[in-house]
Amino acid sequence: MTLRNRIAPFAAFAVLLSVGVKADELKRSSPTLQVTSLKDLTVKVEVTKLDSAELEKIGRDFSTIYRLKHLTLYYRSPDQLRLEGNSRVFGDGTMILNGTKRSYTVSKLHIKKSEDLKTSPAKRQSLMEFAGLIAEGTLDFLKPKFVKTEARLDVYELRYNSEEKSSYFVVSVEPKTHIVRSRRWFDADNHLRASFLYLGEKEVSPGIWLPERCEIRNAEGQLAAVMEYRDAKADTGLTDALFQTQ
């Protein structure tokens, strides 16, 4: 072995030390995306700030749900969601997602619809969007690709399994809490549509954490809405009947 070959490994190690890479970060150079171990969750979601003009820059359909300012979210592993809310304009609203099936009703608008999103995965929503946690069932239709570890957060690109060109997410996950601290939503042409920051944390069950609030910003970086999570109850034994689509 030449002197140059002997020195090269030590030189590389010195470079790593000089930029502050710690031993535990070296071991986690390509970590597996951690999903939440929640069996079920009930939590109130309060929209405490809303700027309709900034929110509609993200999308008119996207903004509708945030106008239901008082929401209750129910989740059951691996991929069942129920969201209930009400507002003066729309009245009572309910959306249920059960695997690929989705149904929703809006009382004052006389809307009642059911659909199967099996061939439209980009329309599916999950616990990640509503509570900043990645559920096991989410990875059935979103494929994670590790990008890097930055500021002690693991960064992944999440793309839909069955669509070659579609919108996608870049998420930064905190290994300790499994909270998605940052989620950036890009369209199929790689243009940023919105950013979501999940802030604070509360242990809702031993070893299970939930963010305290979420800030939604449009592509211009303007604050469009703030959601706060309250009165969370984990693993209470929610039944399948709550998530039956119509």
Per-residue pLDDT of the chain (246 residues; tens, 9 = 90+): 444 444 444 343 333 334 444 444 444 456 889 899 999 999 999 999 999 899 999 987 777 777 777 899 999 999 999 999 987 777 888 999 999 999 988 888 888 999 999 988 888 999 999 999 999 999 999 999 999 999 999 999 999 987 668 899 999 999 999 999 999 999 999 999 999 999 999 999 999 999 999 999 999 999 999 999 999 999 999 999 999 987
Tokens at residue 99, please?
Answer: 């695997």
Q: What angle do CA 83, 200, 231 make, to 5 degrees?
A: 40
> Which DSSP state fits 137?
G
The answer to whether residue 91 is domain-embedded is yes
Query: Does residue 122 sit within a domain?
Result: yes
Side-chain half-sphere CA neighbours of 22 within 13 A: 6
Find all residues with CB under 8 Å of 22, minimum gap 6, and list them: none
pTM for this prediction:
0.83
Residue 5 covered by a domain: no
Parent domain of 73? 31-236
Total Cβ atoms within 10 A of residue 168: 20
pLDDT recorded at residue 17: 35
Structural domain count of the chain: 1
In this structure, is residue 144 part of a structural domain? yes
Would you give the distance in Å from CA 81 to the centre of its chain?
Answer: 13
Residue 73 lies in a domain: yes
The Cα–Cα gap between 74 and 43 comes to 7
Q: Residues 164, 182: contact at Cβ < 8 Å?
A: no
Q: Which two structure tokens, joined as six digits, stand for 70?
A: 């008082």
CATH number (domain holding residue 108)? 2.50.20.10
Are the C-beta atoms of residues 153 and 181 closer than 8 Å to each other? Answer: yes
| Residue 3: per-residue pLDDT | 41
Could you tell me if residue 105 is inside a domain? yes
Query: Considering the domain boundaries, does residue 26 fall inside one?
Result: no
How far apart are alpha carbons 28 and 7 in whole angstroms?
25
Residue 4 lies in a domain: no
Cβ neighbour number for residue 117 with a 10 Å cutoff: 16
CA dihedral 165, 171, 175, 178 (to 10 degrees): -90
